[in-house]
Amino acid sequence: MTATIESVQEQIRLEQLEQADKTLATLERSNGDDPQVKFLRGYVRERQFDRPGALAAYQDVLSQHPRHTEAAFRAAVLCDQGGDEDSAVELYERCIEAQPVPVSALLNLAVIYEERGQLEDAERMLDAVLTELPNHFRARHFLASVDSSYDMAYDEQSQRDRDKRNAVLDTPISDFELSVRSRNCLRQMNIRSLGDLLRTSEAELLSYKNFGETSLNEIKAVLAQRSLRLGQALQPPPEPLVSEAPPPVTLGDASIHARRSISELELSVRSRKALQRLGVTTLGELAIRSEPELLAIKNFGQTSLSEIKRQLALYGLSLRAHP
């Protein structure tokens, strides 16, 4: 086979990384200054988990071709993963100057900006995504979270962690560096996202036809890099610690739950903001409110009311009866 950039790309696609190495060596002898050859060298190293070598190759490309978007994006991802956030931001910002703008760069920048409290910058990135892809679910969901952060003073870190966790769980399997065999098996098992994978046990994977120990170890290694493991989403979350404060005396058998914080409820942003306006901070304070009191709050409707009643019922509580 003639050594060409296209042949290297095909070998990478087929996970033939050793052959891609050899083909690149041939290309480097004849055309070693070609930026695409240098970029592919970096990408092969990245796929071989040689992250320092990959980053060095990408930086070599960018030193001569600062507008090489692919090299800038891959280098940004590696810097981001390595904790060099400032360099990652500079490289992602370089990426979004290109046309068409890489959606992944916009989303990654939005996450960093939101974590830094640069809400306007995060919103600008997400608006750019939705301008190109109006139905992009992750961007729309994340934008709603960013918008709500402007006037929400309660439990900001908890809300941010929840949104980020959801965004991570929605990450498609196609974003991970897996072999063709592993990808095909997961697709046939209808495992499409990281969340799906975390809800699957080792035994379930191994029970599938053509799925063996090699694929299992590969997937476990990819998850371990992110401090994750198979089946962890199947385990129930630990019970929240109960405060030592004296329990209310007016709520009967459910009093043990009355002192729990409202932040422990799985509520929408709209419902949380409504309770914040009402000054409600615990389940007990919520349970002494009536339906008309809640419905009188601005932007609070039947959907929010049903959500709150359902959450209270999980703790054996209910809203005060209205005469």
**pLDDT tens digit string along 88-142?**
999 999 999 988 888 999 999 998 998 888 888 998 999 999 988 888 888 888 8
Is residue 35 located within the same domain as residue 77? yes
| Phi (first) and psi of residue 170, to 5 degrees | -80, -5
- The CA distance from 243 to 84, in Å, is 39
- Is 105 part of any domain? yes
How far apart are the C-alpha atoms of 318 and 4, rounded to whole Å? Answer: 69
pLDDT of residue 299 exceeding 70, the answer is no
Cis? peptide before 240, omega within 30° of 0? no
**Distance between first and last Cα of the chain:** 85
What is the rounded average pLDDT of the residues 236-263?
Answer: 54
- What are the tens digits of pLDDT across the range 168-191? 778 888 888 888 888 888 888 888
pTM: 0.47
Are residues 208 and 276 located together in one domain of the fold? Answer: no
Q: Give pLDDT tens digits for 260-271.
A: 888 778 777 777
- The total of structural domains in the chain comes to 3
Structure tokens at 200: 């699957």
Looking up residue 23, the CATH number of its domain turns out to be 1.25.40.10
Q: Does 322 map to a domain?
A: no
230 and 267 share one domain:
no
The model's pLDDT over 190-205, given as tens digits with 9 standing for 90+, comes to 888 888 888 888 888 8
Mean pLDDT (the chain, rounded): 82
Closest alpha carbon to 234 in 197, 188, 183, 191:
197
Question: Is 210's pLDDT higher than 90?
Answer: no
Average of per-residue pLDDT across 311-319: 86
- The three-state secondary structure class of 68 is coil
Q: Of 234, 266, 286, which residue is a domain's last?
A: 234
Domain that holds residue 31: 5-149
Q: How confident is the model at residue 74 (pLDDT cuts 50, 70, 90)?
A: very high
